[in-house]
Structure 1
Amino acid sequence: MLYEELMMDSGVLTKFELFKRITQINQPDISITQLSEEKSLNYQQTFIILNEINNDLLKIMKTHPSILKKAGKIDSTKLLVTIDEYRYFLLKKSVPFQFILYFLNHEEPSIDDFCQRYFVSRSTVSRKMLPLKKHVKQFNLRFGYTEANLIGDERAVRVALFNALWLGTRGTAWPFESVAFEDAERLAGAYAEYFPLSRTYLGAKELTYFAAIFLCRTRKKFFVPYDSRYDFLMMDNPYYDFERLNKELGAEQTLSPEQSKGESSFIFFLAHYAPFYTLDDDPSLFQTLHDFSTRPNLVYDIVSEFLDYAKRNIFKNEPEALDNSIIIGNLLNVMFAFYALRQPFPNLEKLVEAPKTRSKADQFLETNIHLFFEEKSQEKGSKFIYTIKKPLVNAFKNILLPIYDKPKHAEHLKVGVAFEHNFLLVSKIYQFLNDLGFVDAAPYKEELNDEYDLVISSSLLPRKKTPDLPLYFWDLSYKEEELADLYRVLQQLFEQKNIVED
């Protein structure tokens, strides 16, 4: 489920989606009728919602110009408020988001105090929290109300809180009333070397949010205990500095030796809990590859076995693709997180990516990765895999999918080209089609009509003879930008041809 669907009720969600749509169109004369048809609303509903949006914009920015025009039109080029700013504006009035901010920022939070502050009833809170409650339950987390809180494995709690607050603000606001930005920034900077995030623009901001949540929770005396499953990686490893945390926190916030060990280990765990590596010259990637490969551990053994298996069964025509250090590092991170937690854990990607139809490439990877982990889960030392097999398979698939050559392994489009017989006229279109990698193009033949996914023709004669022929008319005096339209058609046909029918 997408983030906004968890946090917004249906009316607010409709308003947000309409705002998102008009920002995408970005035109001075968008028809309200067109918008109402797109969103399956009647004209009056759409007009009322657009008026509400117009009023909201004035609340966010007092000098904001009206986006409403006469004759049933709106002008989205006048928008000065970004989609991130508008999302945050709406979320601040959303019960689930308010509740998270409340128990994170207030001392001794309770449901009664929350209801009093925000003028809502307990039944309203319970009803509006339902989608979010269902979402966190899959990570063995639950919301407590006597003492308002999110309860469960503190590691999963903090990642879930990060996802909720980061996706709600995207760095445009500082939602932590109880933590000064400078304190979080200083703590994040002290550990930046461990995190690939610190080397990118938004990643550095994400790291500051993680630091703020760390400070919020530890100041409220919610601590992460040390996990002995970290031993192989962190014990007697000078790379992981367990003395640093108390030095950074200072005398007023000094933790006990046990608390410091647990919280330090959590910071180091965070550096590995997701497939963070994107740059092949990242020092933290080199360190990960070195540590996992030189210290005896089950994580490295499983990933190594998987890579050998994948080279034989998945990437047999291009096994060298799996020698990529970024791929190996990300598989190690994912496997380490599942090895340590042994349960599904909050996932940022699932909250921002709309569900997609499964392609044959997806199915092929998923099937083969599942076979490996199904067999692995039967082994004595790897039985823990059985309970986390589905999310583990999905995580491995998502890492491999970008390097799995879809055009090479998928079913290509069969395209007939019906142009005048002249090299200068046909050579450019053939070059364009062949460069796509997923099109098999050849001169058009009538006897193959039933086999074509598309016929590209400079004449409509083939359609006169065969009216249902999938024909794309191509004017020989085309402009270069028209190639983009042709590409979109071909890409859609390719995706449709390779969708797996459930």
Structure 2
Amino acid sequence: MLYETIMLSKSQLDCFLLFEKLSKLQKRDYRLSEIASLAHLSHAKLKYLLEKIAAIIREDNPEQAELYVKKTLDLQKTTVSLTHFRSALLFRHSIPFQFLIYYVRSFHPTVEEFLKTRFISHSTLNRNIQNLQHYLSNYHIHLSLTRCQLDGPSEYQIRRALYFLFWLGMKGSEELLEPFTIDETILPKLLDQFPSEEHYLAEKNLRLDLIIQYFRIKNGFPLDDALDFEPLYDGCAEFDLTLFAENQHLTLNQQRSEAQALYAQSLTTPFFSVSKDPIIRKRLDYYVKQFPSYLAFAETFLAYFEAEIFLTTLSEERRLPLLLNLAQVLNSIILHHGTSPNLHSFLFFQLKKAEGNWVYEKQIHDFFKKSEVLQFTELSSYFELIARVFKHLLQPFYMQIMNWTHLKVGFVSEPNAILFEKIRLFLSSVYFIQLEAFSPKYAESYDVVITTTGFFSQDFPDIPYLTWQISEEDEDLEYLVYHLMDLYRKKAGKLRFI
């Protein structure tokens, strides 16, 4: 949600949040009073926001817009998706988003020209751009409206910030930045450094990188020497650093820096997942050769949790990708002398200060106090940042292994495996549920029982239960999960992690 708070004004954000809630409601006809209650809004505020939503939708679809200004709202008839509504807000109404597009594409951008094309005042621009300026300042990047310029620690950092701000806004669309010229033959060489299952989106990511590179070089901002990429590639023949040898607008050093910067993204992003792709072994060899200390630190971290906390060793197919992801983020932190604009800065990663979270965070921080960890002196000044990132990378594994966070669910129904397997197949994808066939002998051990019978409560009056009708459609199973989530929150309370 952080991205929308950067790009949308207060009223636009309110419209977006309401539309997001509407998109999650069951498809039926609602009285406005019902929606006001569900959205925690007054009737007057709801009516005002629905009129604003209708005005935005009317630009593309007048018939759909009329649905939002009636006395009731029939969601069965609405067809405008949340993605389409969000795009309309960004592309046509977001001042910060429009400013970034204007700034990147213009050879000599000026605030006066932007104000003239948008028909807005200086005060309106200043008011709407503040959240964007605050986000950029987290990475020591300054957006000056006086000079209509971006200043930062390096040109590479500025490009990374522009990349994420455009990627999350355009969702892969390139139309807003046309026309441009990029060398398509470069993409296959860059993609070779990504796992094959990542190629679909990685190609789109890299294309956006090349588009931003095109405009920055065209407008007089080739990569500078503020970042030292050389340690990443010293003695590594698999990286073709002559990608831009034909570009006459760049010096030899700039050609090399541009190639290094593009390859760097595949070496500093935690994108590895469970896979048998050859790139995993290839990247492991890379770290053994180039940065053995990063690999050793990541190994020490994993070994600590396996031995002291998990009391088990992760399988190799899961452990190796995690090990590489830890090494990749260490590479990123050292390369950027701290943090750099990244995707997860737009996510809410702050763990609630509940008992289980305190335990987990303490275990993380205890690791960084160990004597063998303190010996990694080149990393010690970044321990606080490393701890925060490592905590998020390890968290899914931690949640899965620490079984005490599960909700134990029993299932009792007519003796028919079809019924049990249907429920088991569906609920097996829910990480916090431990499902098993109900056993009267262990009745008190269940947090809740799902039953298809009406007399369960008579036999076991003290056991919480949920009734599931065997005639219900598959689509209704999701409501079962909603009830289980509520029970999980009540049980876990202080123990839950998200």
Q: TM-score range by the shorter chain?
A: 0.7 to 0.9
Q: Does 1:472 align with 2:472?
A: no
Q: Is the 8 A contact 2:163 2:208 kept in 1?
A: yes
Out of 353, 362, 370, which is 1:367 matched to? 362
Q: Is the 8 A contact 2:410 2:435 kept in 1?
A: no
Q: Where does 1:175-194 land on structure 2 (aligned, <5 Å)? A: 175-177=176-178, 179-180=179-180, 183=182, 185=184, 187-194=186-193
Out of 457, 480, 488, which is 1:494 matched to? 488
Q: Is the 8 A contact 1:7 1:97 kept in 2?
A: yes
Out of 394, 402, 411, which is 2:396 matched to? 402
1:32 paired residue number:
32
1:203-236 Cα offsets, whole Å, 9 max, x none, are: 3222211221122222223233457764443012
1:333-391 Cα offsets, whole Å, 9 max, x none, are: 111101211222223234255866467665554332332234479846535443x4344
Q: Is the 8 A contact 2:229 2:261 kept in 1?
A: no
1:443 paired residue number:
440
C-alpha spacing 1:477/1:65, structure 2 compared with 1 (3 Å)? closer
Q: Does 1:174 align with 2:175?
A: yes
Q: Give 1:165 shift.
A: 1.0
Q: Does 1:292 align with 2:293?
A: no
C-alpha spacing 1:243/1:268, structure 2 compared with 1 (3 Å)? same
Q: Does 1:269 align with 2:268?
A: no
CA distance in 1, matches of 2:56, 2:140: 37
Q: Is the 8 A contact 2:399 2:405 kept in 1?
A: no
AA in 2 matched with 1:203: A
Q: Which moved more, 1:364-373 or 1:98-107?
A: 364-373
CA distance in 1, matches of 2:112, 2:376: 48
AA in 2 matched with 1:472: Y
Q: Which moved more, 1:398-407 or 1:348-357?
A: 348-357
C-alpha spacing 1:197/1:22, structure 2 compared with 1 (3 Å)? farther
Q: What do you get for the CA RMSD once the two structures are aligned? A: 4.0
CA distance in 1, matches of 2:345, 2:204: 20
CA distance in 2, matches of 1:316, 1:384: 27
AA in 1 matched with 2:96: P
Q: Which moved more, 1:163-172 or 1:457-466?
A: 457-466
1:446-475 Cα offsets, whole Å, 9 max, x none, are: 9x6xx8744667557868997xx6732536
Q: Which moved more, 1:430-439 or 1:292-301?
A: 430-439
Q: Does 1:159 align with 2:160?
A: yes
Q: Give 1:76 shift.
A: 5.1
1:179-221 Cα offsets, whole Å, 9 max, x none, are: 52x5265554552223448844333222211221122222223
CA distance in 1, matches of 2:125, 2:463: 54
CA distance in 2, matches of 1:32, 1:157: 45
2:238 paired residue number:
239
1:213 paired residue number:
212
Q: Is the 8 A contact 2:374 2:380 kept in 1?
A: no
CA distance in 1, matches of 2:81, 2:472: 34
Q: Which moved more, 1:127-136 or 1:162-171?
A: 127-136
CA distance in 1, matches of 2:78, 2:473: 31
Where in structure 1 are there 5+ consecutive unaligned residues?
none
Out of 298, 301, 320, which is 2:315 matched to? 320
C-alpha spacing 1:475/1:116, structure 2 compared with 1 (3 Å)? closer
Q: Is the 8 A contact 2:21 2:39 kept in 1?
A: no
C-alpha spacing 1:24/1:472, structure 2 compared with 1 (3 Å)? same
CA distance in 1, matches of 2:184, 2:82: 25
Q: Is the 8 A contact 1:299 1:332 kept in 2?
A: yes
Identity %: 21
CA distance in 2, matches of 1:112, 1:333: 43
Q: Where does 1:339-488 land on structure 2 (aligned, <5 Å)? A: 339-352=334-347, 357=352, 363-375=358-370, 379=374, 382=377, 384-386=379-381, 388-404=382-398, 406=400, 408-413=402-407, 428=420, 432=424, 438=434, 442-443=439-440, 453-454=447-448, 458=453, 471-474=464-467, 479=472, 481=474, 485-488=479-482
CA distance in 2, matches of 1:75, 1:430: 30
CA distance in 2, matches of 1:126, 1:463: 66
CA distance in 1, matches of 2:2, 2:290: 39
Where in structure 2 are there 5+ consecutive unaligned residues?
none
Give the secondary structure class of the aligned counterpart of 2:140.
coil
CA distance in 2, matches of 1:50, 1:323: 47
Give the secondary structure class of the aligned counterpart of 1:314.
helix
C-alpha spacing 1:53/1:286, structure 2 compared with 1 (3 Å)? same
Q: Does 1:306 align with 2:301?
A: yes
Q: Is the 8 A contact 1:460 1:473 kept in 2?
A: no
